[in-house]
Structure 1
Amino acid sequence: MFAEASDMWVGSKAELVSMYVRSDQRGQGVGGRLVDAFVEWAKGRGAARMHVTAYSENAAALRLYESRGFAPKSVTLAVDLDPGT
């Protein structure tokens, strides 16, 4: 997703909304290449900032994003209202 600057954001931003690498492809650099392609796409559009969301329990994803320069900037808190979901 790409969003131009607005009243809320002083610069344009790109957000990697969802990414999944099949388990049989993990550890082969696929995720890194996908993130790198996203970064290049965002830069090409003129993004001033990039965002990505990962589950806090997904240590491998966090390591991947942090290895590409992403750092925590905010915290999202959630509660499951229906334990069956």
Structure 2
Amino acid sequence: MPQIRPAELADIGTIGDIYAELFTHMHTLQPGYYLQARQDESFIKTMIESDQASLFVAEQDSRVLGFIIVQQQQTPTYNCIAPHDFAYVIDLVVTESARGMGIGKQLMQAAQEWAQVRGLDYIELGALSNNTGAIKLYEQLGFEHCTTLMRKELK
């Protein structure tokens, strides 16, 4: 069973490799919008060192199999929106070879515990509309659809 732990600076390269796998998958799902790329290592470092975010990795046999980044945020200060402090899942990624082992659920549990310790009101995340595997996982974990982002191509 993989162990969940906070990421360390020594994990940046491996996390970058997993990000490249994510970006390839996103490009496959929506090639007109997403590019195959690598995440900027300074972004990963910032998330590891942040007081307002946490990056957890799932590790088994000294190998990182996935990660989650969760960040504390606040609702916008609009008159019609109730004020909340909440957790936003920036990214949840499990390597393709490790999917189906429950790692996504373990990582999400770590994020939920992190948010609860901080007294946050809820967890929010986004998923590509055609990433059916991710959406199925989130629904199994009790997430509900609350908004829809729509796009119309102009060219």
| Structure 2 counterpart SS, 1:18 | strand
Equivalent residue pairs, number:
82
Structure 1 runs, 4 residues or longer, greater than 4 Å off:
79-82
Residue aligning to 1:62? 135
* Unaligned segments of structure 1, at least 5 residues: none
TM norm structure 1: 0.83
What secondary structure, in the 3-state scheme, does the structure 1 residue paired with 2:108 have? helix
Cα displacement (A) at 1:79: 4.6
Counterpart residue number, 1:2: 72
Root-mean-square deviation (Å): 1.9
Deviations 1:9-57 (A, max 9, x none): 5121110011111000000001110111111111111111210111111
1:6 Cα deviation (Å)? 5.8
Q: For structure 2, which runs of at least 5 residues remain unmatched after alignment?
A: 1-70
Determine the structure 1 residue equivalent to 2:112. Answer: 39
The two structures have a TM-score, normalised by structure 2, of: 0.48
Identify the structure with the greater strand proportion.
2
Q: Which has the higher contact order (CA 8 A, sep 6+)?
A: 1
- Partners of 2:134 and 2:123 in 1: CA distance: 16
Identity %, equivalent residues: 28
For residues 51 and 44 of structure 1, what CA distance do their matches in structure 2 show?
16
Which has the higher Rg, Structure 1 or Structure 2? Answer: 2
Counterpart pick for 1:19 among 87, 92, 97: 92
